[in-house]
Amino acid sequence: MPDIRTPLARTPLERPRVIVTRHLVPEVEARMRELFDVVLNESDTPLTRDQLAAAMQDCDVLVPTVTDRIDADLIAGAGARLGLIANFGAGTEHIDLAAAAARKILVTNTPGVFTDDTADLAMAMIIGVPRRIREGTQLVRRGEWTGWTPSGLLGRKLAGKVLGIIGMGRIGQAVAHRARAFGLEIVYTNRKALPESVERMLGVRHVGTVDALMGEADILTLHCPLTEETRHLIDARRIALMAPGSSIINTARGELIDQEALIAALQSGHLAGAGLDVYPDEPNVDPRLIAHPNVMTLPHIGSATAEGREDSGHKVIANIRMWADGHRPPDQVLTALVRG
């Protein structure tokens, strides 16, 4: 296996052929026009599988997003010139990394740029679900609010409650940092415990298992990647471990939760509510979730800030330029290393 610190052994490309699968912010697209022989998707219509296959036959660099499923068959059929898949976004579960490595195609992503944006949105739902924000907003919009009353639309206070975080990477830590200001006790589980100094700084406590965390959390928030091991990580058995009246927040990936189990727990009243920015069959959202009065259903906007999307685009550009110059791109996904 080659040393990832060494330059790529190939001739640099002055203006690589780049195909972008979705419409990006104008500043990023303008810079790409300056630097690359680029084909942009100005209509922002997702490419069909046949269009993706054709694109991968006709470019040096493909710039996909989470909406593009780049599987082994597509990669096997890619043209010989395709050398880089420069993903727009941090997640890469939609790309078959092993197949890319087998074809000696590098894969990059854009980690870190959406940390604060996603943490802000998660925090909005951590506050909004216990305080029944959606329900109150709908009441006013329907013209059914009759005025203040001591017993009307009672929610749950945050201070003193336990927030359980699954996945303590950049976003999980950013959520913990925000949640501490609201008086929440924070417990977390992760593949590895954080250093004690970081735990003290964040004011968090490590819990060894997901089951143990579920038993403690009044509010659960998910910030782990989607893998075969984490698919349906939150199922009926684990939801039952939570105290009645708890809530679940998900800004990570929809498939982390068994949606039928979630809906059953909401309908039974075991869960008081949920905040969801992601779904297993996007853009389709189950009508039972939409109908529930205390489920905040958002359209996958965790990273939807002008600043974040521009920063992500410039990371894509930096990765392409480094690769085109014959060097290892800064955000290479290490599991996609070329195999010897």
What tens digit of pLDDT does each residue of 162-184 get?
A: 999 999 999 999 999 999 999 99
User: How far apart are the C-alpha atoms of 39 and 227, rounded to whole Å?
Assistant: 31
What tens digit of pLDDT does each residue of 80-131 get?
A: 999 999 999 999 999 999 999 999 999 999 999 999 999 999 999 999 999 9
Minimal CA–CA distance to 307: which of 126, 118, 178?
Answer: 118
Q: In terms of C-beta density within 10 A (0-12 exposed, 13-18 middle, 19 or more buried), how is residue 83 classed?
A: buried
Q: Is the pLDDT of residue 340 over 90?
A: no
Answer yes or no: 310 catalytic. Answer: no
Phi, psi of 181 (to 5 degrees): -65, -20
CB 165 within 8 A of CB 207: no
Q: CA-CA distances (angstroms) from residue 40 to 109, 148, 212? A: 19, 53, 48
What tens digit of pLDDT does each residue of 266-291 get?
A: 999 999 999 999 999 999 999 999 99
Answer yes or no: 300 catalytic. Answer: yes
pLDDT mean over 6-21: 80
Of 22, 170, 178, 253, catalytic:
253
Q: CA-CA distances (angstroms) from residue 284 to 18, 49, 264, 290? A: 30, 19, 18, 11
Q: Is the pLDDT of residue 263 over 80?
A: yes
What tens digit of pLDDT does each residue of 302-318 get?
A: 999 999 999 999 999 99
Q: What is the pLDDT of residue 74?
A: 98
Measured distance between the N- and C-terminal CA atoms of the chain, rounded to whole angstroms: 4
User: How far apart are the C-alpha atoms of 78 and 55, rounded to whole Å?
Assistant: 8
Token pair 């943490």 in the structure block, residue: 119
CB 56 within 8 A of CB 20: no
Q: Is the pLDDT of residue 337 over 90?
A: no
User: How far apart are the C-alpha atoms of 333 and 57, rounded to whole Å?
Assistant: 22
Residues near 30 by Cβ (< 8 Å), separated by ≥ 6? Answer: none
Q: What is the pLDDT of residue 335?
A: 53
Residues near 57 by Cβ (< 8 Å), separated by ≥ 6? Answer: 77, 78, 79, 82
Q: Which 3 state secondary structure label does DSSP give 282? A: coil
Q: Give residue 12's pLDDT band: very low, low, confident or very high (50, 70, 90).
A: confident
The two tokens of residue 8 are 């790529």
Of 156, 300, 314, 321, catalytic:
300
Q: In terms of C-beta density within 10 A (0-12 exposed, 13-18 middle, 19 or more buried), how is residue 14 classed?
A: exposed
Q: What is the pLDDT of residue 306?
A: 97
Q: Give residue 323's pLDDT band: very low, low, confident or very high (50, 70, 90).
A: very high
Q: Is the pLDDT of residue 203 over 80?
A: yes
Answer yes or no: 93 catalytic. Answer: no
Q: Sheet harboring 246-250: ordered strands across?
A: 204-206, 185-189, 162-166, 219-222, 246-250, 271-276, 295-297
Q: Which amino acid is at 184?
A: L
Rg of the chain over CA atoms, in angstroms? 22
Cis peptide before 283 (omega within 30 of 0): yes
Percent share of the chain, pLDDT over 90:
94
Of 14, 27, 42, 282, catalytic:
282
User: How far apart are the C-alpha atoms of 336 and 332, rounded to whole Å?
Assistant: 8
